[in-house]
Amino acid sequence: MTRGHDVVLTGRFEETDVKRYFHLPFAVPAGVRQLHVRYSYNDQIDSDPLIGGGNTLDIGIFDERGIAPSSPGYRGWSGSEKLEFTIDAEWATPPYRAGPIGAGTWHVMLGPYKVGPRGCDYRVEIRFDAGRPREDRIVLRHGPPRRPRLPAAEPGWIRGDLHCHTLYSDGDSWPSEMLVAAADAGLAFLGATDHNSVAHHPEYGGGGGALPIVVPGVEITTYHGHWNAWGTQRWYDFREPTAAGVSTSMRQALADGAFVSVCHPKPFGPPWEYAETRGFPAIEVWNGPWERLNSASLAFWEEHLRRGDRVVALGGSDTHLLRSPHHAKLGQPTTWVRIEGDWTSHEPRLAREAVLAALRRGDAFLSASPAGPQLYLTPDPRGALLRVRSAVGTTLALVSDAGSIHAEAIDSDEYERRFELSRGIRYVRAQILDGTGSILALTNPLWLSG
Ligand SMILES: [Zn+2]
């Protein structure tokens, strides 16, 4: 065995290289069972988009099967979260995938997310069979979940959260802990959307029983915006941060049968900068607490609705941390979906499909928490029927393509009312607001014509 580092890759990025990916080849000899990668660079700063003046360098790795789009050789990407990691035939540092270390040309992928005025000099050291022991894991949350008492939902409706992160990207907990926490929050399903990772899927499994149903997903995290794909076990290319590159990846996901949404199109979301991209069936209109600029996402969604694009609104808490206080909490917001058939008898795979089918139909509303408010908007022969629960003391508003068409205070927990709608209205949707104008719940639109 060679002493020191078996491979050292060095180089420099300039400010003109920013937000692009570079693939550095290196040879892996036959018979290797473990690979350890460590990298360093000067003037390192946090990935927070508000911080500048230095360098943030993202890293990922591809094995001998190659770097083509959707290549099975993709072993993972850890952004700038980890300065070293191990990939072993039997185990790997999350978010990397364990498995055979094939002989041939591998590639370290580097992405200079930020390059400061002094440039970014990097050094990547790779060791073969350094004998790193399997990393310990600490699991704090286990045992049977304690589901809270919540106001009952109408028959067929279940609540869930579509967006969260674990140690398989930049979260602080394991998938099993996220599932227990989601059950403790009262959720029936959980979308598992680590950044550019598929290695979390086997660990999550299908869920069910006392735990939420798992809707497997991935947050495709690019340098100019993020999008989620659910109902897929594949990764989708994130390396071409242009409208054309994103459109190609999205089309691939949709062709695979995945359901797709643009994530958090609002300032500091980070925002969605692919104005030319079309064809996504959903928008994450509500990400984390409403006050965190979600009105910008709502405006983005309404632009689409007024154009006649029947894009579905959904929500996600974007929970990253279970071990320390954070503004993002599971179920805040909650996405409610209407399931066809008997949910309780569904096995996990069918239950997952039922959740995805409801999202595709737009049979969904959003609320600030699993406790509500609940907002059921259904078609009626002459307009719409609306039922509201858990919203006493709030304000109800009806919004159409022509603007606000009705507002009233809610003073009963049994609110039910029929609305006749004038001709020419293309859609109507409902929302609940608190005294400060923050949204507490919102429905998808009821499309009335065409
Ligand atoms: Zn995101």
Could you read off the pLDDT of 400-427 as tens digits, one per residue? 999 999 999 999 999 999 999 888 899 9
| Residues 201-238: tens digit of each pLDDT | 999 999 999 999 999 999 999 999 999 999 999 999 99
pLDDT score of 347: 85
Cα of 268 from ligand 1 centre, angstroms: 10
Nearest Cα to 330, choosing from 317, 340, 321, 343? 317
Cα of 199 from ligand 1 centre, angstroms: 18
pLDDT score of 327: 87
Cα of 220 from ligand 1 centre, angstroms: 8
pLDDT score of 423: 83
Cα of 320 from ligand 1 centre, angstroms: 10
Cα of 132 from ligand 1 centre, angstroms: 32
Cα of 247 from ligand 1 centre, angstroms: 17
Cα of 226 from ligand 1 centre, angstroms: 5
Are the CB atoms for 140 and 323 separated by under 8 Å?
Answer: yes
> Mean pLDDT of all residues in the chain?
94
Cα of 269 from ligand 1 centre, angstroms: 7
Whether 2 shows a pLDDT value over 60: the answer reads: no
Cα of 35 from ligand 1 centre, angstroms: 29
Considering only residues 39 and 327, tell me which one the structure prediction assigns the higher pLDDT: 39
pLDDT score of 343: 75
Cα of 389 from ligand 1 centre, angstroms: 31
Q: Pull the structure tokens for residue 95.
A: 């978010």
Cα of 138 from ligand 1 centre, angstroms: 26
Cα of 165 from ligand 1 centre, angstroms: 9
**Surrounding residues of ion ligand 1, Cβ less than 5 A:** 226, 263
Cα of 13 from ligand 1 centre, angstroms: 25
Cα of 219 from ligand 1 centre, angstroms: 7
Instruction: Return the HEC string of 48-75.
Output: CCCCCCCEEEEEEEECCCCCCCCCCCEE
Cα of 164 from ligand 1 centre, angstroms: 9
pLDDT band per the 50, 70, 90 thresholds, residue 381:
confident
All structural domains of the chain: 7-128 (2.60.120.380), 157-372 (3.20.20.140)
Nearest Cα to 296, choosing from 304, 307, 306, 285? 285
Three-state SS at 10: strand
Cα of 163 from ligand 1 centre, angstroms: 9
Whether 324 shows a pLDDT value over 80: the answer reads: yes
Backbone angles phi, psi at 123, to 5 degrees: -145, 125
Cα of 225 from ligand 1 centre, angstroms: 8
Cα of 48 from ligand 1 centre, angstroms: 12
Whether 450 shows a pLDDT value over 70: the answer reads: no
The pTM score is: 0.95
Cα of 272 from ligand 1 centre, angstroms: 10
| Residues 175-205: tens digit of each pLDDT | 999 999 999 999 999 999 999 999 999 999 9
Cα of 339 from ligand 1 centre, angstroms: 27
CA distances from 421 to 376, 381, 384 (A): 17, 10, 8
pLDDT score of 344: 74
- Distance in angstroms between the alpha carbons of the first and the last residue of the chain: 71
Rounded percentage of the chain residues whose pLDDT exceeds 70: 99
Considering only residues 47 and 114, tell me which one the structure prediction assigns the higher pLDDT: 114
Question: What average pLDDT does the segment 428-449 reach?
Answer: 95
Cα of 56 from ligand 1 centre, angstroms: 17
| Residues 335-348: tens digit of each pLDDT | 999 998 777 777 88
Nearest Cα to 81, choosing from 63, 60, 97? 60
Cα of 285 from ligand 1 centre, angstroms: 13
**How open is the CA angle 303-305-308, to the nearest 5 degrees?**
115
| Residues 290-304: tens digit of each pLDDT | 999 999 999 999 999
